[in-house]
C-alpha cells in the first residue's frame, strides 16, 4: 500500500508552492498493532509513516515470554505490505511471575528491547499486569544491571482516586519511590498527559524519557463532551485540562531530548467504541505525523521537529536514526475516515477532516 492510497490531497493548493520539511524517517515508540485480521488492517498505516515501532504486548494472552515475542514478531513481519521494511521492536509484558533470567535472555538475543509495566487493571488487557512492584524487584534489578528500559503505563489503580488524577498520583506514590530504589534503571513514562509528569521527566533525564501522543496535543478533556459524548476520543490516560495540553505542547516543541513520539495508536472496532461500556483507545496511526507537524508549526518550532520525531527516541534506546527520510508538506489533505475490517470498521482519529499538513508521496 502506498502513501497515495492512504491520503487524498485537496486541490486548493499547489504542492510546489507549499512549505515543506524533510526529516529522517521517524519511529513510533509506542504502538498497538493487535493481531490477526486487525493487525493486517492497521499495520500498513503505521508502516507508511514509521520505519520502526515499539510494539505493545497486551494481547490476549499477553506477550510474556521470549517464545511469545518471537512468534508475534513473525506474524507482524508476515503482515507487512509488499516492499515494506518496517521493523517491529518487541516488548515483554511484565507480570508478578516474570523470570529475571527470561528477561535477560530476551534482551541479550534482541528478541525484545524493553519491558512493559502495566499496573494490573489500569487499561486494555492489563488484568495480568503487576499487582505490587515489590513482586518484580528482582526483575527491575536485573533490567537495571543490563541496561534494559522499562516502559510504564503510569496510572494509579486505586479505586478511590479520581480518573483525572490517576497519573499524578502514580507519579507521586509509585514512580518517585521506584526512581529512588532503582537509580540506574532506564524508564519511559508512556503517553504522558500532565504538566507534573513533564516536570518529573525533565528532572530525571537523561535516564528517564516520555512519549507523548498526537491526540493529547490537540484535545483536552472538554473535547470528550463537545456536542455530545465522543467515544472515539476516549483513551487511557484520559485527556486532561487545557493547561496540561499546553504543557505537553511546550514540552514536545522545546527541543529537549527526553521527549519523543509515541502515538499510542490503539485500534478498536467501531462497535467496541460506540457501546454501553466504551473501549479505551484512539486509532491515530493514520494521521500521526500530520498532527504532530501541525502542532510544531502552530508553536513556531518546526526547527525542533526532527529531534522529537526522529532522533530522541532512537538515541534513548541506543539505536542509530533512520537513514531514509520523509517529507511533510503544508498542503491540505484528507485522511481516510475509517479502516474497514470484515463487516465493521475502525474510526480514524481526525479521519475525514481536512488537515493542513500532508505526507509527500
DSSP string, 170-181: HIIIIIHHHHHH
What's the length of the chain? 361
Q: What is the arithmetic mean of pLDDT over 9-14?
A: 38
Identify the CA nearest to 258 among candidates 313, 214, 302, 197.
Answer: 313
Provide the pLDDT for residue 80: 98
Give the tens place of pLDDT for each residue, 186-201: 999 999 999 999 999 9
Residue 153, marked binder? yes
Give the tens place of pLDDT for each residue, 256-280: 999 999 999 999 999 999 999 999 9
Residue 9 has pLDDT above 50, yes or no: no
Beta bridge partners of 21: 328
Residue 94, sorted as left (phi over 0), alpha (psi -120 to 50) or beta, turns out to be: beta
Residue 244, marked binder? no
300: annotated active-site residue: no
Give the tens place of pLDDT for each residue, 31-87: 999 999 999 999 999 999 999 999 999 999 999 999 999 999 999 999 999 999 999
Q: What is the arithmetic mean of pLDDT over 247-253?
A: 98
Confidence of residue 339 (pLDDT cuts 50, 70, 90): very high
Provide the pLDDT for residue 27: 98
Q: Which residue has the cell 501522543?
A: 213
Residue 128, marked binder? no
Per-chain mean pLDDT for the chain: 95
Catalytic residue among 264, 297, 300, 345: 264
Determine the Cα angle at 14 with ends 8 and 20, to 5°: 85
C-alpha cell at 313: 527516541
Give the tens place of pLDDT for each residue, 292-334: 999 999 999 999 999 999 999 999 999 999 999 999 999 999 9
Range of the domain at 279: 3-359
Residue 202, marked binder? no
C-alpha cell at 309: 520525531
Confidence of residue 18 (pLDDT cuts 50, 70, 90): confident
Residue 183 has pLDDT above 90, yes or no: yes
Provide the pLDDT for residue 252: 98
Confidence of residue 17 (pLDDT cuts 50, 70, 90): low
Residue 204, marked binder? no
| CA–CA distance, 305 with 112 (Å, rounded to integer) | 28
Confidence of residue 3 (pLDDT cuts 50, 70, 90): very low
The count of structural domains within the chain is 1
| CA–CA distance, 53 with 143 (Å, rounded to integer) | 21
Confidence of residue 162 (pLDDT cuts 50, 70, 90): very high
CATH code of the domain in which 175 resides: 3.20.20.140
| CA–CA distance, 27 with 155 (Å, rounded to integer) | 25
Give the tens place of pLDDT for each residue, 340-356: 999 999 999 999 999 99
Residue 221, marked binder? no
Percent of the chain with pLDDT over 90: 93
Confidence of residue 4 (pLDDT cuts 50, 70, 90): very low
Amino acid at each position: 500500500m502506498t502513501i497515495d492510497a492512504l491520503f487524498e490531497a485537496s486541490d486548493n493548493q499547489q504542492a510546489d508552492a507549499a512549505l515543506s520539511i524533510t526529516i529522517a524517517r521517524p519511529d513510533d515508540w509506542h504502538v498497538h498493532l493487535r493481531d490477526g485480521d486487525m493487525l493486517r488492517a492497521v499495520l500498513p498505516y503505521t508502516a507508511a509513516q514509521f520505519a520502526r515501532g515499539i510494539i505493545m504486548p497486551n494481547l490476549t494472552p499477553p506477550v510474556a515470554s521470549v517464545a511469545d515475542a518471537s512468534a508475534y514478531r513473525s506474524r507482524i513481519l508476515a503482515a507487512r505490505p509488499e516492499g515494506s521494511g518496517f521493523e517491529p521492536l518487541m516488548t515483554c509484558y511484565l507480570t508478578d511471575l516474570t523470570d529475571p533470567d527470561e528477561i535477560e535472555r530476551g534482551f541479550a538475543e534482541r528478541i525484545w528491547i524493553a519491558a512493559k509495566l502495566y499496573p494490573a487493571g489500569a487499561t486494555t488487557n492489563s488484568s495480568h499486569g503487576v499487582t505490587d512492584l515489590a513482586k518484580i524487584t528482582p526483575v527491575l534489578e536485573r533490567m537495571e544491571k543490563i541496561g534494559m528500559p522499562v516502559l510504564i503505563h503510569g496510572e494509579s489503580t486505586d479505586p478511590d482516586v479520581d480518573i483525572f488524577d490517576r497519573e499524578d498520583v502514580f507519579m507521586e506514590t509509585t514512580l518517585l519511590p521506584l526512581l529512588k530504589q532503582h537509580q540506574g534503571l532506564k524508564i519511559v513514562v508512556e503517553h504522558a498527559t500532565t504538566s507534573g509528569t513533564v516536570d518529573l521527566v525533565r528532572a530525571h533525564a537523561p535516564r528517564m524519557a516520555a512519549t507523548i501522543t498526537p491526540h493529547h496535543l490537540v484535545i483536552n478533556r472538554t473535547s470528550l463532551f463537545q456536542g455530545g459524548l465522543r467515544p472515539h476520543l476516549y483513551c487511557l490516560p484520559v485527556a486532561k485540562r487545557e493547561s496540561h495540553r499546553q504543557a505537553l505542547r511546550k514540552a514536545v516543541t522545546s527541543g529537549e531530548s527526553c521527549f519523543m513520539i509515541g502515538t499510542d495508536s490503539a485500534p478498536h472496532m467501531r462497535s467496541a467504541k460506540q457501546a454501553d461500556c466504551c473501549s479505551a483507545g484512539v486509532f491515530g496511526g493514520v494521521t500521526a505525523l500530520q498532527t504532530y507537524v501541525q502542532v510544531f508549526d502552530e508553536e513556531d518550532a518546526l526547527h525542533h521537529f526532527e529531534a522529537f520525531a526522529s532522533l530522541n527516541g532512537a538515541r534513548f534506546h541506543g539505536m542509530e536514526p533512520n537513514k531514509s527520510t520523509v517529507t511533510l508538506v503544508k498542503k491540505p489533505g484528507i485522511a481516510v475516515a475509517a479502516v474497514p475490517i470484515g463487516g465493521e470498521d475502525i474510526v480514524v482519529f481526525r479521519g475525514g477532516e481536512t488537515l493542513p499538513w500532508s505526507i509527500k508521496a
